[in-house]
Amino acid sequence: MKKDFMFTSESVTEGHPDKLCDQISDSIVDHFLQRDTQSRVIVECAVSTAIVFIAARFASEATIDFPNIARQVIGQIGYDQCDFNAKTCSIITSLRELPYEAGRYSDENDLSEEEIDHVSVKNQVTLFGFACDQTPALMPLPIWLAHRLARRLTSVRLQKILPYIAPDGKTQVGIEYREGRPFGVHSITVIMSQKKPAHSGGPDMKRIREDIRDEVINPVFNEEVIKPDNKTRIFINPDGPFVTGGPSIHSGLTGRKNAIDTYGEYARHSGAALSGKDPTRIDRIGAYAARYAAKNVVASGLARACEIQLSYSIGLSKPVSIQVETYGTGKIPDEKIAGLVEHHFDFRLAGIIRHFNLRHLPSRLKGGFYRKLAAYGHVGRMDIGLPWELTDKASMLGAC
């Protein structure tokens, strides 16, 4: 890995069309699991102009009103303008109810270790988990800052600090690295959509740029150790006004923001979508398990950066391969860390579901669980008590 370089990561707000689709998909997953914890469901959503398309395959005793859930999500995000809003958009569904599966009601919490060994994965995937010591959440600094800016952009809209902002927005942060460590803020880009153009009562670009600096960028970086300086390049709507935004301007699709959902391209991630899948999908929950292991390795002090690679094959309960890469930062050989990880972490499908309690979290958290992951990252979150963000095994690893 290079020691001196510049790296950028982007984030988007919850009103971005792709994230809108992710939230609709995961809200449907939440509703199924709240009513039937053994539900099997895969949901994909697409949106463009004023049309929302939902495709789902499911096996459940629950009855779900797909269009109503979608309209709730659209309204809560804040789309209430004439070109796209929760009340008037057209919603098309393509639903396939799967047959009842024998043994479907075997809760992982009630299974023996031998029974968990026999719960096999139904799809093949290679996925990754990553952690590094660049931030308190053990995430790469560029995506950490991009998410913070995106969340602040949404916050000032919802709090009506900047009431002219529309739900759709993007952020990007470039960080300069020296000797492999964050050194300075190279660039900051904020693109926000506004409800009205200047000639119709909306703000002009001078006011927008001043407002975004004062109410979005400065509050975020006031809490950071590395701050912008006079060399930092700051771009706020560099192409000019971005009016309305959202599905009326560009389309959206579930699972199209994998890098934003994970590590901002600073580390590898699986090509499989995370949102819109129940907990029996290893391509979703395996990514959480890999992050959990990588974060504990870094928190233990065994390495400053760690990538965990898991490879699964259909018909097996556990990975066929577990690989560890510490990029030369490990205190002990990577092979030994891999052995510790395999010994202390349960990467079996049913073991992950059981350890993280993934079937029951939607019922125990107000407003559901999986929808909360669908914007601002599935990993590295400090605002939700995610079980895979715990470092409860760090002392165990460090003592080995």
Share the mean pLDDT of the chain: 94
Contact 263, 140 (CB under 8 A): yes
- Distance of alpha carbon 63 from alpha carbon 315, whole angstroms: 30
pLDDT of the residue at 399? 77
Contact 141, 9 (CB under 8 A): no
Q: Percent of the chain scored above 90 by pLDDT? A: 88
Pick the range with the lowest mean pLDDT from 201-205, 249-253, 284-288, 387-391: 201-205
Q: Where are the domains of the chain?
A: 5-13+140-246, 114-134+281-398
**Is the predicted pLDDT of residue 163 greater than 90, yes or no?**
yes
Q: Which residue has the higher pLDDT, 42 or 196?
A: 42
pLDDT of the residue at 201? 81
Radius of gyration of the chain (CA): 22
pLDDT of the residue at 105? 54
Phi and psi of 395, rounded to 5°? -65, -35
Q: What is the pLDDT of residues 48-85, one digit of tens each?
A: 999 999 999 999 999 999 999 999 999 999 998 888 99
**Is the predicted pLDDT of residue 1 greater than 80, yes or no?**
no
Q: Counting beta carbons within 10 angstroms of the beta carbon of residue 269, is it exposed (0 to 12), middle (13 to 18) or buried (19 or more)? A: buried
CB atoms within 10 A of CB 318: 18
Q: Which residue has the higher pLDDT, 270 or 139?
A: 139
pLDDT of the residue at 104? 59
- Angle between helix axes 66-77 and 17-35 (nearest 10 degrees) is 130
Q: What is the pLDDT of residues 110-139, one digit of tens each?
A: 899 999 999 999 999 999 999 999 999 999
Q: SS3 for 286?
A: helix
pLDDT of the residue at 14? 97
Q: Mean of the pLDDT values across residues 264-278?
A: 95
Closest CA to 156 of 211, 198, 197: 211
DSSP state of 291: H
State pTM to two decimals: 0.95
Q: What is the pLDDT of residues 227-238, one digit of tens each?
A: 999 999 999 999
Closest CA to 169 of 185, 184, 157: 157
Contact 185, 173 (CB under 8 A): yes
The CATH code of domain 114-134+281-398 reads 3.30.300.10
pLDDT band at 3 (very low <50, low <70, confident <90, very high): confident
Q: Which residue has the higher pLDDT, 128 or 245?
A: 128
- From residue 391, alpha-carbon distances to 84, 145, 307 in Å are 43, 22, 16
pLDDT band at 245 (very low <50, low <70, confident <90, very high): confident
pLDDT band at 142 (very low <50, low <70, confident <90, very high): very high
Terminal-residue alpha carbon distance, the chain: 27
Closest CA to 307 of 286, 321, 288, 293: 293
Do 5-13+140-246 and 114-134+281-398 show the same overall fold?
A: yes
Contact 25, 43 (CB under 8 A): yes
The H or E element spanning position 147 is helix 141-158
**Is the predicted pLDDT of residue 18 greater than 80, yes or no?**
yes
Q: Tell how strand 233-236 and strand 181-194 pair up.
A: parallel
**Is the predicted pLDDT of residue 150 greater than 80, yes or no?**
yes
Contact 56, 26 (CB under 8 A): no
5-13+140-246 CATH pick, 3.30.70.270, 3.30.300.10, 3.40.50.720, 3.50.50.60: 3.30.300.10
How big is the CA angle at 148 (ends 179 and 165), to the nearest 5 degrees?
Answer: 140
